[in-house]
Amino acid sequence: MGKQPLISVIVPVYNVEKYLTECIESIKNQTYKNIEVLLIDDGSTDSSGLICDKVAKGNTCFKVFHKQNGGLSDARNFGIEKASGKWLTFVDSDDYISKDCIEYLLNLAITTDSKIAAGAHTTFYESGNRFYKGFEENSVKVLSEKEALNHILLDDYLDLSAWAKLYAVELFNDIRFPKTVSFEDTATTYKLFFLCDKIVCGGKSVYNYRIRLNSITTSGNFHKKIQLIENTKKMCSDITAKYPDLSQAADRRLVWAYFS
């Protein structure tokens, strides 16, 4: 791979004391070592902040920042501002990644000269059920911008989640996650795709996404679900303005948002 670039791993942390150690250990044990890990304690009221401080003692690649609660987007944006790496990746603090996650994604990006590399992921429920999502295992797909946008509209092999992806840092020069907005990935990821002529997708599951009963995704909060519809409307409008022939996929995505 030649000279190993610095990778910034941004981890927003808020009241996840039950899961945080597993998340941190999965990052600490990466096969790729030239990383900085930014633990952004977003005003936790449990022991999450203390866990972050304990991990950072004697481990120079971990950096801890304690800030007033501002939500997931605000914590991610804070991390972007503090990052020093040539590449960025996001890990939610109740999830965990495979040992070779960063090495795998970086290899994909470099060998295909892509600014975004996406891996497959495994969704798992606290009941024990697990589901794989991605292209064929061990496959590598180099998609055009349009092809990648079509896949996120169809939500088949590639999705909108900020995690399980590696980004060239310059993609965030003018893009940030919207604050005080739920389902922020729906309002952001497609804009990053707009800046790329291609996106590489690997079929290896490198990210383990935990579904919790009290998460934003599973909660019945009406106003948060309305935000999903508004974000999806804007995304579909922006994509079809650039690619009118993706309108059918966009309509399907919007119908899905309403049913959700």
Contacts 24+ apart (CB under 8 A), 20-26: 20/48, 20/51, 20/52, 20/93, 20/94, 21/51, 22/96, 23/91, 23/92, 23/93, 23/94, 23/95, 23/96, 24/51, 24/52, 24/55, 24/62, 25/96, 26/96, 26/97, 26/98, 26/99, 26/101
Per-residue pLDDT reduced to its tens digit, 146-199: 999 999 999 999 999 999 999 999 999 999 999 988 899 999 999 999 999 999
d(CA 59, CA 54): 9
Average pLDDT on 68-78 reads: 97
pTM listed for this prediction: 0.94
**Residue 177 neighbours by CB under 8 Å, 6+ apart:** 72, 73, 74, 76, 77, 162, 184, 185, 187, 188
Residue 260's pLDDT is 80
Looking at the predicted structure, is the pLDDT value of residue 93 above 80?
yes
Give CA–CA dist 225/169, Å, rounded: 30
Burial 142-177 (b: 16+ CB within 10 A, else e): ebebeebbbbbbbeebbbbbbbbbbbbbebbeeeeb
Maximum Cα interatomic distance, the chain, rounded to a whole number of Å: 54
pLDDT digits (tens, 9 = 90+) for 187-242: 999 999 999 999 999 999 999 999 976 555 545 567 778 899 999 999 999 999 99
Q: Compute the average pLDDT of residues 75-91.
A: 98
pLDDT at 181: 84
Q: Minimum mean pLDDT among 15-24, 69-78, 143-152, 213-222: which range?
A: 213-222
Task: Give mean pLDDT, residues 230-258.
Answer: 97
Tokens 């040539």 found at: 86
For 99-134, write each residue's pLDDT tens digit.
999 999 999 999 999 999 999 999 999 778 999 999
